[in-house]
């Protein structure tokens, strides 16, 4: 659970929160937050969900399954989905794609970009 503890600490610091601030938010003692960040203890599933919502990330991001936090990008992505039919088509294709298919699509995009200056 090293990634979980590191991600909690990083997100807390990025949001200019003290361990006490985070403890107050979660309704736990500050020593619990210290243990979460040290990897000596794991927050409850409810606390994990609350942390994810508060910091604007997924629970998978907290656990280290996802590499990137969406954060403020979510609003931008929502706007793009609303205003761009092309982006919507790409999103619809990608949301049902397997990880292998996504890697293949990225490889195709990179190959097209490398061989076409106007791409």
Cα dist from 47 to 27, 52, 98, 105, whole Å: 9, 9, 30, 36
CA separation for the pair 88, 73 (Å, rounded): 16
What's the pLDDT score for residue 7? 94
pTM for the model: 0.57
Q: Are residues 49 and 77 in the same domain?
A: no
Which pLDDT tens digit goes with each residue over 78-88?
777 788 888 88
Q: Are residues 56 and 6 in the same domain?
A: yes
Which pLDDT tens digit goes with each residue over 22-52?
999 999 999 999 999 999 999 999 999 999 8
Q: Are residues 79 and 58 in the same domain?
A: no
Q: What mean pLDDT do residues 6-13 have? A: 94
Domain that holds residue 106: 73-115
Q: Are residues 6 and 58 in the same domain?
A: yes
Q: Are residues 52 and 83 in the same domain?
A: no
Which pLDDT tens digit goes with each residue over 54-75?
888 889 889 988 766 655 566 7
Cα dist from 80 to 41, 50, 77, 105, whole Å: 40, 27, 5, 20
Asked whether residue 23 is domain-assigned, the answer is yes
Q: Which of 111, 88, 112, 90 is nearest to 102 (CA)?
A: 90
Better pLDDT: 25 or 117: 25
CA separation for the pair 37, 72 (Å, rounded): 24
Better pLDDT: 77 or 11: 11
């Amino acid at each position: 659970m090293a990634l979980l503890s590191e991600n909690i600490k990083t997100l807390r610091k990025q949001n200019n929160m003290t361990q006490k601030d985070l403890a107050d938010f979660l309704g736990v003692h500050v020593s619990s937050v210290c243990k979460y960040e040290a990897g000596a203890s794991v927050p409850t599933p409810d606390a994990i969900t609350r942390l994810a919502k508060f910091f604007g990330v997924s629970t998978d991001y907290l656990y280290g399954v996802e590499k990137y936090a969406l954060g403020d990008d979510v609003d931008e992505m929502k706007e793009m989905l609303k205003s761009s039919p092309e982006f919507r088509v790409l999103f619809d294709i990608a949301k049902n794609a397997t990880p292998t298919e996504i890697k293949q699509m990225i490889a195709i995009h990179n190959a097209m970009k490398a061989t076409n200056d106007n791409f």
